[in-house]
Amino acid sequence: MLSERRLEVLRAIVQDYVGTEEPVGSKALTERHNLQVSPATVRNDMAVLEDEGYIAQPHTSAGRIPTDKGYRLFVDKLAGVKPLSSPERRAIQNFLEGAVDLDDVVGRTVRLLAQLTRQVAVVQYPSLTRSTVRHVELLSLAPARLMLVLITDTGRVEQRLIDCQEPIGDAALADLRARLNSRVVGERFTEVPSLVQDLPDAFEAEDRGTVSTVLATLLETLVEETEERLIIGGTSNLTRFGHDFPLTIRPVLEALEEQVVLLKLLGEAKDPGMTVRIGHENVHEGLSSTSVVSVGYGSGDEAVAKLGVVGPTRMDYPGTMGAVRAVARYVGQILAES
Amino acid sequence: MLSERRLEVLRAIVQDYVGTEEPVGSKALTERHNLQVSPATVRNDMAVLEDEGYIAQPHTSAGRIPTDKGYRLFVDKLAGVKPLSSPERRAIQNFLEGAVDLDDVVGRTVRLLAQLTRQVAVVQYPSLTRSTVRHVELLSLAPARLMLVLITDTGRVEQRLIDCQEPIGDAALADLRARLNSRVVGERFTEVPSLVQDLPDAFEAEDRGTVSTVLATLLETLVEETEERLIIGGTSNLTRFGHDFPLTIRPVLEALEEQVVLLKLLGEAKDPGMTVRIGHENVHEGLSSTSVVSVGYGSGDEAVAKLGVVGPTRMDYPGTMGAVRAVARYVGQILAES
DNA sequence: TCTGGCACTCCGTCGGCGAGAGTGCCAGGG
DNA sequence: CCCTGGCACTCTCGCCGACGGAGTGCCAGA
């Protein structure tokens, strides 16, 4: 176990390095933070920290920079989550309240997050797995052609075209619509299959085929739309990544283009609270010099999706975490209201 | 007017510079292209080309690089559109045919274009201005809360929440839905306002407020959705932009995040065929060292949207134009089929 | 009008040098 | 036992000057 002061030294190193982007030496440390000890003592502590793998030197006789392990300790033990100032909070709320629909909410959120953290923001669309059905609509577009519209409680609308083998009468269609809604409205997606299972039995033989087709399409839509979508923003912040550009930035941009990668990235964060993945903790190798701060958000108690930011491992963790958490909360509120 | 050989020299300079990214000198030119004249002659020609503003030297006694004006001449007069090879064409077709819905078509298109050109691809969603209404649906979510769902013939669905001052009865709602659809289905968006103008008159006084609100929301949705959306891809190709990274890439990334800028960019391209905007021809200053190649595409004869690529002014124009044109054609086909 | 030759200019690279920052270690003191 | 000041050492970075190479511009001759 590291002594109190050594932890303090580590914290100081992280803070300084994050601020200056330059390796930090013992002398500068004692000057900028009042550690009450001499540079020599700090040097000894640094030697220990280096032995333990928390910091490293780019080369002999340079200052130290934190390792991934060092950041990990910093995040876990040394740093809290920095709450946002109240003007910031107000700004968030005002900005998000202007949104007119779900797309707009998500769009604003990603811009907001990118701006607040000055990093790349990732926002997942509210997932449908935990969602409930608000309404199911069936429209007759042509004699043997239906359109199924599914509206979720998160405000998302999905539609599917259905080609039936045989035309269905208006009365039967209205009946189906009514029965369908009375059974599934307010229910969770996962419950729907068992709830509609026996619906065809209530119809005349001639309509059963069509009813089954409709139900199959509905279930399919529920499953398909569970594959979450997401959007990203603030990629221009990548230019503030480091000095050695192309090599660093390239794999990150590539990773960001792969929605699959990002979804996995957010999905891995199982933690009920905030999750911070630092450097090599990210399995995707293109992101080995980045950290990902993510958190779930939702309209109620449960998280329906995740959002977060991607930035250099050398990032302001407390500030970033504060911004991410605050944004998640406000988005949750907005979603709950609408 | 420049002599034939001088044009040939310009063409050679553009081609070499695009290939090597380095200023090209008179000697290298005579070696790589069989111009049948000596370096000295080429030097004289280059001096003339420089006087005319088609090429420039980064500094005295360096090779020449084309100016925007030089590229312009090259594109207009010296280079054709390089058709894609038939394997490439097949690949495009196969790739696009796998798409399952509109989102997927657009998504695949942007990836395809980015991959083919190794540049940043921009694809605009099919515009709604030329679209027609397929169906309008009104749902009662709560006593005084409605949802409006608009379905277009391009398969797009838009929804809006409507808060009414007073509840509206089921019968009146069904009536409104029926009247609305009978009037607007199959009509172009631009026609809708005049078609629904007098609808409130058909209703009882108590419902007129609500009906008006619904109509207002519908019209608003039509207008808002006419503001086209677009998606981009292949941003990681920006890393191949040049050597002086942050300065070049930054404004481009920023411009790419501003949908407004991009929409204007594509919108400016009035040309019925392909449009190429080179360097400073782009009004947005962040894009002054990039060229934009764009073209309209559509399901029928009419272009319903645009797509294109953004890359360094030093790009392979014939190849890029060929790829852009080919992709636009195939996307048009796919859209027409669906 | 084209060609070969020649002098000139300028960039990029390389080696050397000095300054600065930082370290590791050691001996002494609380 | 831990902290401190001192000292010698190392390494990077920036600067300077020299050098080679590539390319140009110009001129005289064919």
Residue A60 CA and nucleotide C17 C1' are separated, in Å, by 21
As given in the structure block, the two tokens for residue A159 are 């539609």
Residue A42 CA and nucleotide C25 C1' are separated, in Å, by 14
Q: How far apart are CA A292 and CA A113, in angstroms?
A: 13
As given in the structure block, the two tokens for residue B173 are 């709602």
Residue B136: band (very low, low, confident or very high) from pLDDT cuts 50, 70, 90: confident
Query: Which nucleotide is nearest, taking the CA of residue A29 and each C1'?
Result: C22
Alpha helices in chain A (DSSP H): 4-20, 26-32, 39-52, 68-73, 86-97, 102-117, 170-184, 192-196, 205-224, 245-257, 259-268, 317-337
Reported as a single tens digit per residue, the pLDDT across B94-127 is 999 887 777 788 999 999 999 999 999 999 987 6
Q: Which CATH number is associated with domain A130-223? A: 3.30.390.60
Contacts of B291 (CB under 8 A, 6+ apart): B71, B276, B277, B278, B279, B282, B310, B311, B312, B313, B315, B317
Query: Is it the case that residue A327 has pLDDT exceeding 90?
Result: yes
A80: left (phi over 0), alpha (psi -120 to 50) or beta: beta
Strand partners, A140: A146
On whether the CB atoms of residues A232 and A121 are closer than 8 A, the answer is yes
C-alpha of B231 from chain center: 9
The protein residue nearest nucleotide C21, judged by CA to C1', is A62
What is chain B's percent helix, strand, coil content, to nearest 5? 55, 20, 25
As given in the structure block, the two tokens for residue B252 are 């481009």
Most confidently predicted of A215-219, A263-267, B240-244: A215-219
Mean pLDDT of B5-21: 93
Q: Do B236 and A246 touch (CB under 8 A)?
A: no
Its pTM stands at 0.81
As given in the structure block, the two tokens for residue A335 are 């979603």
Q: How far apart are CA B67 and CA B51, in angstroms?
A: 12
In this complex, how many residue pairs, one in chain A and one in chain B, have their CB atoms less than 8 Å apart?
72
Residue-level pLDDT at B310: 96
Nearest to A257 among B135, B141, B235 (CB): B235
Contacts of B198 (CB under 8 A, 6+ apart): none
Reply yes or no on domain B2-75 having CATH 1.10.10.10: yes
Between A108 and A191, the more confident residue is: A108
Residue A141 CA and nucleotide C13 C1' are separated, in Å, by 74
Q: Is A181 on the interface with B (CB under 8 A)?
A: no
Q: Give A254 to chain B, closest Cα distance, Å.
A: 6
As given in the structure block, the two tokens for residue B287 are 């894009």
Residue B301: band (very low, low, confident or very high) from pLDDT cuts 50, 70, 90: low
To the nearest 10 degrees (0 to 180), the angle between helices A317-337 and A86-97 is: 40
Residue B271: band (very low, low, confident or very high) from pLDDT cuts 50, 70, 90: low
Q: Do B239 and A250 touch (CB under 8 A)?
A: yes
Lowest mean pLDDT of A152-166, A262-276, B53-67, name the range.
A152-166
Rg of chain A, C-alpha, whole Å: 26
> Quick check: A33 CB within 7 A of strand C?
no
Q: Is A147 on the interface with B (CB under 8 A)?
A: yes
Domain ranges of chain B: 2-75, 84-125+227-335, 130-223
On whether the CB atoms of residues B259 and B230 are closer than 8 A, the answer is yes
Q: How far apart are CA B254 and CA B49, in angstroms?
A: 35
Residues 44-73 of A with CB under 7 A from strand D: 44, 59-62
Q: How far apart are CA B327 and CA B293, in angstroms?
A: 12
Q: Do B233 and A338 touch (CB under 8 A)?
A: no
CATH topology of domain B84-125+227-335: Beta-Lactamase (3.30.450)
One-letter amino acid at A299 equals: S
Q: Is B246 on the interface with A (CB under 8 A)?
A: yes
Query: Which nucleotide is nearest, taking the CA of residue B40 and each C1'?
Result: C3
